[in-house]
A and B are shown apart, each in its own frame.
Chain A
Amino acid sequence: MQERSDKLTTSLNKRELERKLDIEKKLEGKQQLIAEHEQLEYFTKSFNEKRIAVENALKSSSSVDVVDLPKHFDTIYKSILMLQKYGASSKIFLRMYDVERCHQTVHELTVRTRELEENLIPKKKFGFKNKKPNITDLNGRSEDVVDYAAPHQSYEESICGFENRKNETLIMQKSDVYKNDVVLQNIENCLIKLYGTPSTLHLNHVRNCLILSGPVSTSIFAEYCNDLKMAIACQQLRLHSSSDIHIYLHVTSRAIMEDCNNILIAPYNFKYDSLKEDFVTAGLDQNINNWTSVDDFNWLNLQKKSPNWSILQEHERISDWDNFTLPCGKFPD
C-alpha cells in the first residue's frame, strides 16, 4: 500500500515537474523571441539615429568655415566608421537583409561624404607651406646587416581570408571582404575569387593559383608568390620576392616590385555584375589605370627598362576566366 502511494506520488511529481519545465521552456522561447525582436528594434533605432547624425553633419558642411573643413570631414568619416563598426558588431542577431541595408547605408554615406569633401575643400590647405617633394638619386647601394630579433609567436592570429589550402575553389562575397584586410596565406592550386572591395589584400606564399579580385581600396602586398595568374585592381601594388606571375592589373597610382622576375602585365579584365559600383565604393577611379608603369627597386636605371617585367602580348592574354583551368588540372566545384 505504502509502496503504491509512493509510486503514485513519484509519478505525479514527475508529471508536475515535466509540466513546469514545459512551461518554462515555452516562456524561454517566447522571451528569446521578444529579446531578439527588441534587440533588432533597438539596433534599428540607434543605427538610424547615428545615420541621421551623419546626414545632418553633411548638411551643415556648407556653413562650416573652410579652415575647419578637414576636421569637420574627419569627424564625419569617424562617425561613419563607428556606424560600420556598430553594424558589424551586431551581425549575430541581424538578418541578411539588415546586414545588406547597413552596408548600403555605410557605402552611400561614404560616397556622399567623399563627393562633398572634394567639392568643398580646395586642393591646398591654408596656413601650410608646401615644398615640391624631391626625389633622390639612388646610386651605389651597399649591404646592410640587420640584427633580427627572435620571432614572436604568442599572438593568436585570426584572419579574414584563407590559410593553408590546397586544390580548392575559394570564394568570398561582398559582405565578407568589405573594408576588410584580406589575407591569402600558404595556398596552392586554388581558384580564388574575391567579389567586392577589400580595404587591403595580402598574399603570402601563394603558388599555382588563379586569383580574381574586385577593386581593393588601398594597397595589395604580395610576397613569396609563384606561378600565379591574377586579375586585380588597387591603388598600389607591391610585389616582393616573387616570380612567374601574370598580372591583369588596374592600378591608380603605381605598381612596384622588389626581388622579382618574369612578371608579365596586362590590363585588368575581371568582370562581374557590380564591378563599376565597386570601383566607386573602393574610391578608385576606373578611368585611371597606370598598369604599364612598374617601378623595379632592383633596377633603378632610368634609361633602360627592367628585365624583370614586361607587358604580356595581346595574343597571349586570357580573356575568358570562366573557362580557365590551371595547369594542375580541374578545380573542384
Chain B
Amino acid sequence: MGFLTVLRKMKQKEKEMRILMLGLDNAGKTTILKRFNGERIDTISPTLGFNIKTLEHRDYKLNMWDVGGQKSLRSYWRNYFECTDGLIWVVDSADKRRLDDCRAELFTLLKEERLAGATLLVFANKQDLPGAFSATELQEILELAKIKTHHWKIIWCSAVTGENLLSGIDWLIDDIAARIFTLD
C-alpha cells in the first residue's frame, strides 16, 4: 500500500478534510473562518502567519488553514499545499483595482502540482458592499472558465452578514466527499 492510499484510508475513517484558504490580503479569509465558526469578527487583525482551525461540520472534521495574503507572505503559500483536499480562494469583490493581481495569483496557484486534484471554491466575498462585482461578473473577469484542471465553483457571500457562507462550504464538502470517500 502506497503512502497516498494509507493517507486516504486514514482520512476515510476520520472523515477528515484539509482545506486551504488563500487569496489576496484584505479579501476576508480570516473573517470568513471566524464567522463560520461563530466567533466575533470585529477584533480580527491582518494575518501575520497563518491560523488553523478544526471544525466539525455535518459529519466531517474540517482542518481549515488560513494563510496571510500580504505580498511578502505569498511566497510562503507553497509550504501549505501538501495534502490539500479543498482550496478556498477568497476575493474582495469590491476591490476592482486588484482583480488583475487576483487572477494572476490564482492561476499561478492552479499550476502547482501539489494542488492538483483539489476542489476549488471561489468565494466572491463582500457582497454587502454596494460597489461589489457580482459572482457572475467575477467569473468572467477572473476567467474562471479557463480552469480545466480542477473542479471549481464561484459562490457569492458576505463574511460580515454571514450570508451564503454555508452553501459555499457545503458545496465544497460534497465535491470533496464524492471524490475521496467513495473511492476504494
Contact = CB atoms under 8 A, between A and B. Distances in A.
Interface stretch (A3-11, A42-50, A198-206): A198-206
A221 B26 contact: yes
Contacts of B50: 133-136
B72 A155 contact: no
Contact of A81 (B73, B128, B131, B143): B128
Interface in A73-87: 73-74, 77-78, 81
A199 B96 contact: no
Contacts of B136: none
A253 B54 CA distance: 24
B104 A295 contact: no
B144 interface: no
Given A133-B53, A160-B130, A238 B26 contact: yes
Interface residues of B, number: 53
A148 B100 contact: yes
What's the dominant secondary structure at chain A's contact region? loop
A263 B144 CA distance: 39
Contact of B56 (A127, A141, A259): A127
B38 A121 contact: yes
Given A131-B53, A218-B160, A149 B75 contact: no
A152 interface: yes
Interface stretch (B6-14, B15-23, B40-48, B176-184): B40-48
A185 B37 CA distance: 36
A331 interface: no
B25 interface: yes
Interface string B97-137: 10111011101100000000000000000101111110001
B141 A155 contact: yes
Given A131-B52, A256-B46, A125 B104 contact: no
A329 interface: no
A254 B26 contact: no
Contacts of A146: 74, 104-105, 108
B145 to A, nearest CB: 14
Given A135-B49, A238-B46, A254-B46, A123 B40 contact: yes
A117 to B, nearest CB: 10
A236 B45 contact: yes
A249 B75 CA distance: 30
B51 interface: yes
B76 interface: yes
Contact of A256 (B70, B97, B104, B107): B70
Contacts of A157: 96
A160 B55 CA distance: 38
A147 B48 contact: no
Contacts of A199: 128-129
B131 A160 contact: yes
A130 B53 contact: yes
Contact of A297 (B37, B72, B96, B101): B72
B163 A159 contact: no
Interface string A228-272: 000000011010100000000000111010110000000000000
A240 to B, nearest CB: 8
B37 A125 contact: yes
A144 interface: yes
B73 to A, nearest CB: 7
Contacts of A298: 72
A254 B45 contact: yes
Contact of A219 (B26, B71, B74): B26
B168 interface: no
B170 interface: no
A133 B132 CA distance: 30
A238 B44 CA distance: 13
Nearest to A217: B160
19 contacts: A70-B38, A81-B128, A123-B39, A125-B39, A135-B48, A142-B75, A143-B75, A144-B75, A146-B104, A146-B108, A148-B100, A148-B104, A149-B103, A181-B132, A236-B45, A253-B42, A254-B46, A256-B46, A259-B71
Given A123-B40, A297-B70, 20 more contacts: A74-B161, A74-B163, A129-B54, A130-B37, A130-B53, A133-B51, A141-B72, A141-B76, A143-B75, A146-B105, A148-B104, A155-B133, A160-B131, A179-B128, A183-B131, A202-B95, A202-B97, A283-B42, A284-B42, A298-B72
Give 9 nearest A-B pairs by CB, closest first: A125-B38, A136-B49, A254-B45, A133-B51, A144-B75, A74-B162, A181-B129, A253-B45, A135-B49
